[in-house]
Structure 1
Amino acid sequence: MAIISFKVASASEYLAITGWGINDIRLAKKAWVFIGQSCARFDVSPVNYTFQVEAMSSEKLPFILPAVFTIGPQTDDVESLIRYARLIAPCDKNSDHVKDLVQGVIEGETRVLAASMTMEDIFKGTKTFKQEVFGKVQLELNQFGLVIYNANVKQLVDVKNHEYFSYLGQKTQQEAANQAKVDVAEARMKGEMGSKERDGRTRQNAAKIDAETKAYSKQREGEGSKAEAKVQTEVMLFQVEQEAAVAAANAQLSVKKAEWLCQAKVADVEAAKAIAIRDSELQLEVEKKNASCQTEKLKAELLSRATVNYEIKVQEANWELYRKQKVAEAALYEQERQAEGQRAIAEANFFTLQQQADGALYAKQKEAEGILSIAEAQGVYLRTILEALGGDYAAMRDFLMIDGGTYKEMARINAEAVKGLNPKISIWSNGSEVAGGGGQGSSHVSSAMRDMAGVYSMLPPLFGTVQEQTGMLPPPWMGKLESPAN
């Protein structure tokens, strides 16, 4: 099991570290995680939540408010991030638990705000209504460390089996159609009146011109025939005057007839248009009365139905809130039990490592005691040899070198060094005392001391040979060669 590990979070993640040495929660992008500590990663990227919020205005008119919210952790505030890590991060942010939490906050604040406004206020102040909703929702989300990055409210729509917006559109369309019919009738009336007026004036002018033409013609004829016969002229003049009087009377009669006909037509048209206008006004009044009656009837039905639905929704919301509270309490209890279990495991692991460390320390202590005992035994061994040799340090040194095989190793190294060469060979002897095993000194030393003395006596010739062949002198601790006598 790893005692320590190094954790690194990605660009959109944070590390939440708890446990040994940390009072509450420590947030970091990278950190060492020691034994007895727990490290969890959580993502801080925002998430889109789409809702169909059902609300009701102050007139008890239900409507649906489609909305899309982009919500995520508040990364610029450490306290908000800690609240998010403690409350939201243990759950998947795309899970139903988080979505229900956000949806409950948004729906609750939207319903409370809509209940205090009329439908007309909601329509006229859509921007203000949106800002009010966002502000109140943000206040509730602060306790979870969340912030609204973006929000979009779509067009209000009718609830199923409720047609308020549909009737409102039909009313607007009907009013526009009625106004168009009135405008068409007025234009038609003005057109027909103008046509009749122009026709009468044309006839009046034609009759006047005809009369003037006939009078001028008769006058010219009378003047031409005046010289022929005065009587005939007077007779003709009288006839012309009579005819002119008759023509003038006929013209006046035609003008009067035209005026009377025009006035009659105008009166007929005005009467017909007045009847049509009055009919339209009466029909409009009837439609208004019918619409008013239908509206009151719908209001009564919708009010009773909305009251029942409101009570049902309140009970359902209370039950859902109670259920979510119990689920949240159960989840919190489970997390606390898991945390206690992890804490117990961490303490057990820490105790095990402590025992292992104590065991390793005890083994090192025993090993040091053994080395100390060996050193003390070697010290006793060296003191015993030194006492046996009468305090002669050089003899003890030589004995240790002989016992350790130092001279044999030197001889082997020299033999390997001159192998394949043609060295100068020197042969020497240590005398009959050592080689023969007898002599004057045999009664004073043992066999082992004789061997050691023989080897020691061989050293000067050996060192001399090495000096001759290599030019090297023995180290000072091995002795000093005297210059050979001339």
Structure 2
Amino acid sequence: MVYTIASPDEYLAITGAGVRTVKITKSAWVWPFQRCQRFSIQPRDYNLNLQTMTREKLQFLLPVVFTVGPYVNQKGVIDGHATRDASGDEHAPDPDDRGDALLKYAMLLAEGEATKGVSPGQHIENIVKGIIEGETRVLVSSLTIEEIFTAREEFKKRIFRNIQSELGQFGLKIYNANVKELRDAPQSSYFESLSRKAHEGAINQARIDVAEAQRRGNVGEAQRQGEQNREIAKINAETAVQKTERDSERAQAEATLATRKTVFNRDVNIAQIEATRATESRDEELRKEVEVKRAFTELERLRASDVVKATIARESKQQAADAKAYEEQAQAKASFFSEQQAADAAAYKLHKEAEAKFYATTKEAEAHLVQQQKEAAGISAMAGAYSDLSLAFGGPAGLIQYLMIEKGVYTQLAHANADAIRGLNPKMTIWNTGAQAGSEGGKPGEGSSMGGVDQIRNMYQMLPPLMSTINEQTGITLPEWQFGKLAGDISEREVSGKPIQGMGSNGTSAQK
């Protein structure tokens, strides 16, 4: 008898005496005539690269990875709580489950051990891969490639449900299912073409977006530039008005300062004059006191003889001093009044000049602004009128022709062309060297029998009038040994009215 304990990732399968079928447990006493087998419950990953065919007979590679292991039921681990499978679906605990999943898995292992040449793990792997391949191919054959590609999550859930229903009878459970990126089968380029199409579409869309962004940027830049120009013009106008106001205020301040300076100078002058007059008055008073004292002394000395004379002299001096003081006071008042009048006149003149300058500057700015507004309105109205005329005349070309007719451009061009050729005296020379221009006195048709001789004669007849015409119109004289003498004979015959030697009766020479 042995007490056996399984590791955390193992279970014990006990058969033999006292056990009806198989006992699944984590620890137990192993009695004689009983057999104990350990088995792991670790899940395994099964990687498959399935080549499947869709409903429209399109083959592709479907890489999948399934994590499959024994189903540890509520009795073994979960203890009555709800479970969630690999597809995300939640399952409530099964109250009738008494460990049947582990029992089925243990029996599957025993079946693998009984198979010769195959290990238990290989036996389970063959079963799992066969179920996965079969159910996946059946499911893919009922779908189109577009349904598989666009509904990946739903496709994964359907594969999980179909395979899990088959694996459940062996006590196995899918713990995780992962469908990798679909790939092209050999001799197929479906997904590559789709990828290239998406790539090119993204590149074209990016180029379109860049062009649209550039267009918006250019338009926005032009709009911002226009707004900037308008704001600058507005700021310049406001600055001019403010500058005019500041100039006016400065002129007023300067006038006020000049007035205050004048008043201050006037007060200083008055104070100086008052101080001078006070000093002089005090001097006179002191002199008066001295004179009084001296008079009293003299009066005491000469009281008897000079009382009347001293009194008269004193009264006379007193009157003279009073008259002088009054005269000086009157002069000071007159000077102060004249200075005040001059200062007031200067301040008033400065104030009026500042007001006139401010008014003139304001009116000039307003007139300039109104002129610019009217010019802009006139240009806008003219542009609208020209646009209407262009539509009426069938386009810009028709409008240009109408304006040239209205402005008399064609008439001016005709006058210019006439003035260009006015005063010219063109000379034209016409001669005939045809077949009818035979020898002198010949009849028409007689020279035609000469054949090649006529052609030579015609060419020779053409040279003299040609050289003569070149000489008359250009002034160029050819050497005498070539055509000079011949040209002179031709000219003499033309003057005398005789026919030119070598030309037929039909040869003509006309000049205009």
Same fold (TM over 0.5): no
When the two structures are superposed, what TM-score results if normalisation uses the length of structure 2? 0.34
When the two structures are superposed, what TM-score results if normalisation uses the length of structure 1? 0.36
